[in-house]
């Protein structure tokens, strides 16, 4: 299958076909990266290309007619798209979560909500809104920052704290003194705020959005400790975090390949020496490659172990050793840090050429600097992992798939 003949929406696809489609799209996305950056959101025809390529369906199970791709395969798709343009990879990572969300929703209602497995979602997991319990559901209001892709999706998933009669709502089983949930709202019921003016990931359209007193039925909300399908590797509480490192890995690989290509023919203007013979170039590129290879191997090794433990439908994340439990979060953190370090060193190698807005290396640097501010790339990720192995209190427990147990 070629990019000039994309798969038709609705055509069943295997994981291998979707990965191949994503890789075939990468050069097209690369050619349009300046346009995507300037547009500050994904162009409508790019969204359609992605939909046709099947990338939004990759989290849907076979019971839905989906490919039920492994977490490793999903990450490969995000890598491939980010290799073309990181903003696209970022939006698809979030957009393809819809199939994973479906596993935590009432199945009959979810099928009414998602009549096509090529629909996609956006949203913010952290509870930034307020949901007041009313008969049959909730009244949801709030403002959420970083609604990546929320201008072009079908559904928006937003985290909010739950209240009842004006007071914080405690989970009936006693597991949580102030419950928070994720609420699914059709895109038409949100109001986007055009404030996404950033140095990087410009094309992700990660603008703020508001929801004002919207009724959300009870069965349009979910928590990741209560799956509605049999146990398996794609119904674990951390599932929507897993493919995130594909974005920095794809961006770093793209930059490294670009530098390799340029360095083979470039000549140093001062000395007349070919770049391929300059020790500084050789060492910098080799060190960056070492960091990339190590980071990527760590991501997939940690993910594979997690998958193996849960693949039998019996095992859960609690069956991992403490070191295995923290490995996905730490290797994700490391992938973001690696990408930023690699791009900084490559841009230093190329010097002033990278300061111009149309320079591709400079664009990748801006992108990885911006994505490096995400929660999974910050100190809270390492604090969470360190606290867990020491028996302390992790600050962001969802990174480790930790859920409250009934008291």
- For 265-308, list the strands marked E by DSSP: none
DSSP 267: B
- Whole-angstrom distance, CA of residue 276 vs CA of residue 283: 11
Residue 170 lies in a domain: yes
**81, 26 contact by CB (below 8 A):** yes
Please report the pLDDT score of residue 278 as a whole number.
Answer: 96
Q: pLDDT digit string (tens) for 217-262?
A: 999 999 999 999 999 999 999 999 999 999 999 999 999 999 999 9
Q: How far, CA to CA in Å, does 167 sit from each of 164, 170, 236?
A: 5, 9, 30
Residue 243 forms part of a structural domain: yes
* Whether the Cβ atoms of residue 18 and residue 58 lie closer than 8 Å to each other: yes
Kindly report the CA angle at 42 between 140 and 10, in degrees rounded to 5?
Answer: 85
pLDDT tens, 128-156? 999 999 999 999 999 999 999 998 999 99
- Same domain? For 260 and 361 the reply is yes
Query: What is the Cα–Cα distance from 54 to 47, expressed in whole angstroms?
Result: 11
Residue 5, pLDDT score: 38
Domains in the chain, number: 3
CATH number where 159 lies = 2.40.110.10
Is there a domain that residue 329 lies in? yes
> Does residue 280 register a pLDDT over 60?
yes
With b for 16 or more beta-carbon neighbours within 10 A and e for fewer, the 215-254 pattern comes to ebeebbbbbbbebbbeebbbbbbbbbbbbbbbbbbbbbbb
Res 403: pLDDT: 84
Structure tokens at 12: 């069943």
Render pLDDT for 47-73 as a digit per residue (tens, 0 to 9).
Answer: 999 999 999 999 999 999 999 999 999
Coil, helix or strand at residue 27? helix
Q: Are residues 181 and 242 in the same domain?
A: no
* Rounded Cα–Cα distance for residues 180 and 129 (Å): 9
pTM above 0.85?
A: yes
Among 198, 222, 246, give the residue marking a domain's end.
222
List the structure tokens of 15. Answer: 């994981």
- Residue-wise pLDDT tens digits, 228-238: 999 999 999 99
* 225/178 Cα distance (integer angstroms): 15
CA atoms of 78 and 96, how far apart (whole Å): 10
Measured distance CA(25)–CA(37) in Å, rounded: 17
Q: Do residues 301 and 385 share a domain?
A: yes
The residue with tokens 């370090």 is 341
Structural domain ending residue among the three candidates 68, 102, 136:
102
Q: Which residues pair with 216 in a beta bridge?
A: 138
CB burial of residue 133 (10 Å; 0-12, 13-18, 19+)? middle
Given a contact cutoff of 8 angstroms between Cβ atoms, the answer to whether 185 and 164 are in contact is no
| Partners of 37 in beta bridges | none
Identify the CA nearest to 157 among candidates 187, 191, 179, 193: 187
Is residue 317 domain-shared with residue 266, that is, in the same domain? yes
Q: State the CATH number of the domain containing residue 349.
A: 1.20.140.10
Same-domain pairing of 285 and 307:
yes
Mean pLDDT (whole number) for 9-29: 88
- Tens digit of pLDDT for each residue in 295-339? 999 999 999 999 999 999 999 999 999 999 999 999 999 999 999
Residues 370 and 275 in one domain: yes
**Token couple for 183:** 């609420």
């Amino acid at each position: 299958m070629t990019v000039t003949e994309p798969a038709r929406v609705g055509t069943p696809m295997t994981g291998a076909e979707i990965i191949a489609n994503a890789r075939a799209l990468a050069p097209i996305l690369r050619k349009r990266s300046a346009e995507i950056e300037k547009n500050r959101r994904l162009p409508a025809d790019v969204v359609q290309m992605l939909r046709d390529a099947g990338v939004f369906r990759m989290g849907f199970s076979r019971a839905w007619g989906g490919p039920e791709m492994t977490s490793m395969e999903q990450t490969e798709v995000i890598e491939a798209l980010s290799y073309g343009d990181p903003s696209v990879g970022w939006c698809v990572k979030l957009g393809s979560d819809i199939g994973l969300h479906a596993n935590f929703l009432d199945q009959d209602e979810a099928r009414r909500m998602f009549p096509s497995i090529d629909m996609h979602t956006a949203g913010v997991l952290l509870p930034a809104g307020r949901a007041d319990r009313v008969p049959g559901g909730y009244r949801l209001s709030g403002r959420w920052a970083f609604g990546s892709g929320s201008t072009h999706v079908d559904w928006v998933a937003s985290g909010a704290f739950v209240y009842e009669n004006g007071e914080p709502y405690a989970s009936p089983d006693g597991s949580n003194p102030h419950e928070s949930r994720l609420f699914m709202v059709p895109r038409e019921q949100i109001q986007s705020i055009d404030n996404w003016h950033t140095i990087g990931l410009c094309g992700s359209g990660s603008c703020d959005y508001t929801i004002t007193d919207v009724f959300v039925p009870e069965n349009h909300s979910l928590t990741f400790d209560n799956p509605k399908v049999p146990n398996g590797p794609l119904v674990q509480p951390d599932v929507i975090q897993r493919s995130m490192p594909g974005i920095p890995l794809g961006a770093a690989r793209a930059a490294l390949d670009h530098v390799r290509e340029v360095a083979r023919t470039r000549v140093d203007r001062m000395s007349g020496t070919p770049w391929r013979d300059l020790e500084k170039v050789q060492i910098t590129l080799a060190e960056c490659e070492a960091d990339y290879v190590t980071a990527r191997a760590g991501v997939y090794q940690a993910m594979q172990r997690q998958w193996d433990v849960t693949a039998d439908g019996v095992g859960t994340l609690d069956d991992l050793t403490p070191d295995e439990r923290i490995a996905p979060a730490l290797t994700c953190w490391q992938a973001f840090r690696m990408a930023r370090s690699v791009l900084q060193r490559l841009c230093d190698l190329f010097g002033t050429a990278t300061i111009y807005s149309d320079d591709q290396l400079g664009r990748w640097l801006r992108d990885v600097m911006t994505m490096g501010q995400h929660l999974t790339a910050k100190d809270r990720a390492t604090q969470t992992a360190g606290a867990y192995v020491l028996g302390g209190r992790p600050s962001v427990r969802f990174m480790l798939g930790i859920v409250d147990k009934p008291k």
